[in-house]
């Protein structure tokens, strides 16, 4: 599966997971990584907001929007910590067991 649109750090993590030879260990590592996604996503948003706030010390929102390819209202939202995701959290996935 091609993941060429992912940042290099993500590609490195996926490569490491793919290189785990033991399927049980690989499954556990992938499951742990997936479980950490919400926390990681929140941390990424925090890093982005901090960088926007640092940029905003020397640039206007309009300048930042042009530089980053975003709309000025979106820049303002990020500066304030407003997220775009309005979907409810997905339901918990139940453990599936193959009794075959």
Q: How far lies 1's CA from each of 4, 14, 18, 32, in Å?
A: 9, 11, 11, 21
Q: Are 83 and 45 in contact (CB under 8 A)?
A: yes
Q: Considering the chain, what is the average pLDDT of its residues?
A: 85
Give residue 4's pLDDT band: very low, low, confident or very high (50, 70, 90): confident
User: Residue 83 is encoded by which pair of tokens?
Assistant: 């997220």
Is residue 68 within 8 Å of residue 77, measured between CB atoms?
no
The answer to whether residue 99 is domain-embedded is: no
Residue 24 is assigned to a structural domain of this protein = yes
Tens of pLDDT, residues 53-81: 999 999 999 999 999 999 999 999 999 98
2: in domain: no
pLDDT, position 34: 95
Count of domains observed in the chain: 1
Range of the domain at 22: 8-80
Percent of the chain with pLDDT over 90: 73
Query: How would residue 85 be classed by pLDDT, with cut points 50, 70 and 90?
Result: low
Q: 3-state DSSP helix/strand/coil percent for the chain, to nearest 5?
A: 60, 0, 40
Predicted local confidence at residue 94, as pLDDT: 42
Of residues 19 and 97, more confidence is placed in 19
| Token pair belonging to 76 | 């303002």
**Residue 89 pLDDT > 80, yes or no?**
no
Neighbours of 64 (CB within 10 A): 20
């Amino acid at each position: 599966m091609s993941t060429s649109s992912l940042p290099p750090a993500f590609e490195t993590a996926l490569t490491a997971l793919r290189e785990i030879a033991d399927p049980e260990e690989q499954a556990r590592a992938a499951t742990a990584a997936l479980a950490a996604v919400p926390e990681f996503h929140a941390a990424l948003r925090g890093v982005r907001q901090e960088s926007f706030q640092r940029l905003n010390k020397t640039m206007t929102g309009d300048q930042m929007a042009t530089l980053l390819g975003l709309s000025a209202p979106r820049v303002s939202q990020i500066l304030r910590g407003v997220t775009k995701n309005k979907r409810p959290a997905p339901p918990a996935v139940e453990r599936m067991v193959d009794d075959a």
